[in-house]
Structures are given as structure tokens and as C-alpha cells.
Amino acid sequence: MTLLLACLTSNSSDTPLPKPDFGNLPKFEKNFYVEHPHVRARSDRDIDDYRRHHQISSQGRDVPRPVQTFEEGSFPQYVLDVLHGERDHEGKAWGGPTPIQAQSWPIALKGRDCICVAEVNQIFTCCSITDAADRLRQDSWLPPSWNRPH
């Protein structure tokens, strides 16, 4: 589904606004995820053990494997820099993704729908993916007109 928002200003004359041409829009692929070689190398048993240990259950077709480190999440370096700079409430560096992040980030980055149910603090940290996804829009492969100033 494509969503395009346009801001129309009042037209002082009574001439109709021209109909927009959407045929020249660049194709936008929602799949930012590239499975890390370490994730791919894990056996199905290792993946099942990780999910069982962290009480992760998933349903659907072709559910991506969970990541176990930030580097496995296929984020650009500037996102990794932010993640590695974050601290918890005790001032300790984050050691890696929470279980809900580990499973939901690959799903979200693939452009797939995901419903997550977890403890409140995990849901809060899961939401940090939205900022990362927004920053992905700023990468150089998108036309400059799509970049948003911060």
C-alpha cells in the first residue's frame, strides 16, 4: 500500500489544481532487512532454544530468525552507534537487543506486520525501531526530496 500526503493551499483563482502525476514516483521497497551471516549460520535447534529460553512464540509464514546482537540487525552504522551509546537506568550499556527486539526487528525491517505482547519495559524499547526506521529513510539511496530535516 502506498500512502501519499499532499498539502493543498487555497487557490485564489477558481482554476482547478492540476491532477498530480503519480506515475513518476520512485518505487519504494519496504524490505530493509538483510539476514546477517551469523543468524543464517545458526541451526534450527539453536533458534528454537533461543525462542524457548526467552519465551518467544511466533506465528505466520517465513517468520525471520531472531537476532542476538545489534550488529545482526542489519542497521546502518549510525544506528548501531546510537544503540551502543544507550544506557539503562543503572548507567550500564545495553548488552544487546531485548527478546522482543530480537524477534520483532527483523520482522519490521522486512516490512511485515507484527503484533508484540511483552512486559511494559520491553514494549517501550521495542518502539525504538520506529526512530531507526525513520533514519533509514535518510540514507543516500533515497531521492534527496524524501529526506526529512531533524
CA distance linking residue 31 with residue 147, whole number of Å: 18
pLDDT digits over 79-96, tens only?
Answer: 888 888 888 788 888 889
**Residue 93: beta bridge partners?**
87
pTM of the model as a whole: 0.64
pLDDT digits over 108-146, tens only?
Answer: 888 888 888 877 665 455 555 555 555 555 555 544 544
Q: Which residue has the cell 538483510?
A: 34
55 backbone φψ class: left, alpha, beta (φ>0; ψ -120 to 50): left
* DSSP-derived 3-state class of residue 62: coil
pLDDT digits over 46-66, tens only?
Answer: 999 999 999 999 889 999 999
The grid coordinates of residue 78 equal 549510525
Percent of the chain with pLDDT over 70: 70
CA distance linking residue 50 with residue 57, whole number of Å: 11
Angle separating helix axes 99-109 and 128-136, nearest 10 degrees: 30
Q: Is the pLDDT confidence value at 4 over 70?
A: no
- pLDDT the model gives residue 146: 45
